[in-house]
């Protein structure tokens, strides 16, 4: 496998050095009955490439290199590889799912979706076995099975490179998650020895860069024992990624991830604050991918402790409007959740218990704020739950509104504590527990 990557990388290097001109491709939607807009965006950056609709079924774009992108229609998603000199045709099936005319796209989506099926099928072994070292072995066999599917077809060297990388990157992403977060293994644990099989970074990593950040973290901790400085880790990324563009890309994704998914970066999060972010933004002012962390950085500043809480609008279960500013002078604990979020539902009994404790205290309000995309699903859930504890509120797709932006809500559940003066006490409170009660009680004692 290593030899294949060396060959692919060499060919890819020749291709990019010889072909410097953009090439035009046509993207066409084969449907006159489309309801809504189809967005085609870069997979990792979410940068919009084109939009298609019944009024605009065909568009042309310029490409220099292959790009892995997502095709989105409402809640439907399909992955595609946009390739120079190869037109793309998108179709909508009777069940509203998406498909293209490219076999490489079919394989790309197979690599994406077969992973979840494999983990589900083997979950009892993966999550219960005491022989953790056997887990990379079963995934290695799974990786080889998927390699054989890719090798059945005579794709161009660039497309083969992307597909083989997607195969291993998706598997290694899970192994890193399992070892780093699920099991909390020491970086020196031999479980992580699979990092030696991760190839040196090339342009293909842009289709799924996270495994290199995890790999660098393991290597950094093996070398330095502890991580106590975010800027030093950024320099470590630079020194291990000799290509300037890829280095900028990885650093930008790392900064964005620190803000957006801090639970994946427990060793880093405790070192990260507004002072560090300001220093990082200054050092990365010339990063060509700074657009990736510009908006998250703005959200991070707005949501920090001590800032005036953003005055959001919502509705209650009777459809009546709600404004946060109407609760000024009270201590407010907000549970941001959704009916589709399993961790939210697991924590919900404790939130309701917290709400019950303070239901007769006029100085405390517990807000259970749903960010679902369906008001009907939310109302149906509340009807089945049949609880009168807390104030149930709804913001349609709230994570993607000004509410979500101003409170830096990139994942849920999220718990926010606001003081009587309307300022944020804790924008990322621990799950509802004795610590949350202590936070509320302390806020009540404040003048």
* Domain boundaries of the chain, sorted by first residue: 21-101, 105-302, 313-445
Token code pair at residue 132? 């953790």
Alpha carbon 339 to chain centroid distance? Answer: 19
Alpha carbon 419 to chain centroid distance? Answer: 30
Token code pair at residue 15? 């291709």
Token code pair at residue 254? 């790392």
- Pairwise CA distance, residues 428 & 197, whole Å: 37
With 0-12 / 13-18 / 19 or more C-beta atoms within 10 angstroms meaning exposed / middle / buried, residue 377 is middle
Strand order in the sheet with 23-29: 58-63, 23-29, 88-92, 98-100
Provide CB contacts within 8 A for 113, sequence distance 6+.
Answer: none
Neighbours of 396 (CB within 10 A): 15
Dihedrals phi, psi of 94, to nearest 5 degrees: -55, -30
Q: Consecutive 10-residue runs of the chain (447 residues): their mean pLDDT?
A: 42 40 86 83 92 90 92 90 92 90 95 95 93 94 96 94 96 96 94 94 93 97 94 96 95 93 85 91 95 89 85 93 93 93 90 91 94 92 90 92 87 90 85 82 85
CATH topology of 21-101 equal to that of 313-445?
no
Considering the domain 313-445, what is its CATH architecture?
A: 3-Layer(aba) Sandwich (3.40)
The H or E element that residue 244 is part of is helix 244-260
Q: What is the pLDDT of residue 435?
A: 79
Dihedrals phi, psi of 68, to nearest 5 degrees: -90, 125
Phi-psi region of 78 (alpha: psi -120 to 50; beta: other; left: phi over 0): beta
Give the Cα-Cα-Cα angle 205, 210, 212 (nearest 5 degrees). 65
Beta-sheet pairing, 364-370 with 331-337:
parallel
Dihedrals phi, psi of 364, to nearest 5 degrees: -130, 135
**Helix, strand or coil for residue 39?**
strand
Token code pair at residue 78? 């399909």
Determine whether domain 21-101 maps to CATH 2.60.40.2890. yes
* Cross-strand pairs, 100: 90
3-state helix, strand, coil in the chain (%, to 5): 50, 20, 30
CA dihedral 166, 399, 394, 388 (to 10 degrees): 80
What sign does the CA torsion over 311, 428, 268, 408 have? negative
Give the orientation angle of helix 230-240 with respect to helix 210-224, to 10 degrees.
Answer: 110
What sign does the CA torsion over 49, 51, 56, 58 have? positive
Q: What is the pLDDT of residue 21?
A: 64
Neighbours of 311 (CB within 10 A): 13
The long-range contacts involving 355-361, CB below 8 angstroms and separated by at least 24 positions, are: 355/389, 355/390, 356/389, 357/437, 358/440, 359/389, 359/390
Max CA distance (Å), the chain: 73
Cis peptide before 413 (omega within 30 of 0): yes
Model confidence, pTM: 0.77
């Amino acid at each position: 496998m290593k030899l294949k990557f060396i060959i692919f990388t060499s060919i890819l290097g020749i291709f990019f050095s010889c072909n410097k001109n953009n090439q035009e491709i046509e993207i066409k939607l084969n449907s006159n009955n489309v309801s809504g807009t189809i967005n085609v965006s870069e997979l990792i950056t979410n940068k919009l490439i084109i939009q298609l609709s019944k009024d605009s079924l065909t568009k042309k774009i310029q490409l220099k290199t292959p790009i892995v992108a997502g095709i989105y229609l409402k809640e439907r998603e399909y992955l595609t590889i946009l390739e120079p000199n190869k037109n793309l045709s998108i179709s909508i099936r009777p069940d509203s799912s998406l498909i293209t005319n490219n076999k490489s796209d079919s394989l790309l989506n197979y690599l994406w979706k077969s992973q979840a099926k494999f983990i589900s099928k083997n979950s009892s072994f993966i999550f219960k076995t005491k022989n953790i070292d056997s887990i990379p072995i079963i995934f290695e066999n799974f990786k080889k099975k998927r390699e054989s599917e890719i090798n059945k077809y005579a794709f161009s060297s660039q497309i083969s490179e992307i597909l083989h990388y997607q195969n291993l990157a998706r598997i290694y992403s899970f192994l890193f998650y399992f070892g780093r977060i699920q099991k909390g293994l020491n970086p020196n644990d031999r479980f992580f020895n699979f990092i030696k099989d991760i190839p040196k970074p090339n342009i293909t990593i842009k289709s799924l860069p996270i495994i290199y950040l995890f790999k660098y973290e393991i290597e950094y901790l093996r070398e330095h024992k502890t991580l106590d400085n975010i800027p030093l880790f950024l320099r470590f990324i630079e020194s291990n990624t000799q290509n300037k563009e890829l280095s900028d890309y990885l650093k930008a994704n790392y900064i964005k991830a620190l803000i957006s998914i801090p639970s994946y970066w427990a060793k880093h999060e405790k070192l990260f604050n507004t002072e560090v972010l300001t220093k990082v933004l200054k050092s990365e002012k010339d990063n060509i991918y700074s657009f990736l962390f510009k908006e998250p950085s703005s959200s991070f500043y707005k949501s920090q402790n001590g800032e005036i809480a953003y005055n959001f609008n919502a509705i209650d279960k009777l459809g009546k409007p709600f404004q946060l500013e109407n609760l000024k002078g009270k201590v407010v604990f907000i549970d941001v959740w959704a009916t589709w979020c399993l961790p939210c539902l697991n924590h919900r009994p404790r939130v309701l218990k917290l709400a019950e404790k303070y239901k007769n205290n006029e100085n405390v309000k517990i807000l259970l704020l749903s960010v679902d995309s369906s008001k009907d699903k939310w109302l149906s859930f509340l009807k089945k739950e049949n609880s009168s504890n807390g104030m149930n509120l709804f913001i349609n797709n709230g994570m993607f509104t000004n509410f979500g932006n101003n409170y830096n809500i990139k994942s849920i559940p999220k718990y926010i504590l606001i003081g009587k003066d309307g300022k944020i006490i804790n924008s990322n409170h621990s799950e509802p527990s004795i610590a949350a009660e202590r936070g509320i009680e302390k806020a009540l004692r404040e003048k």
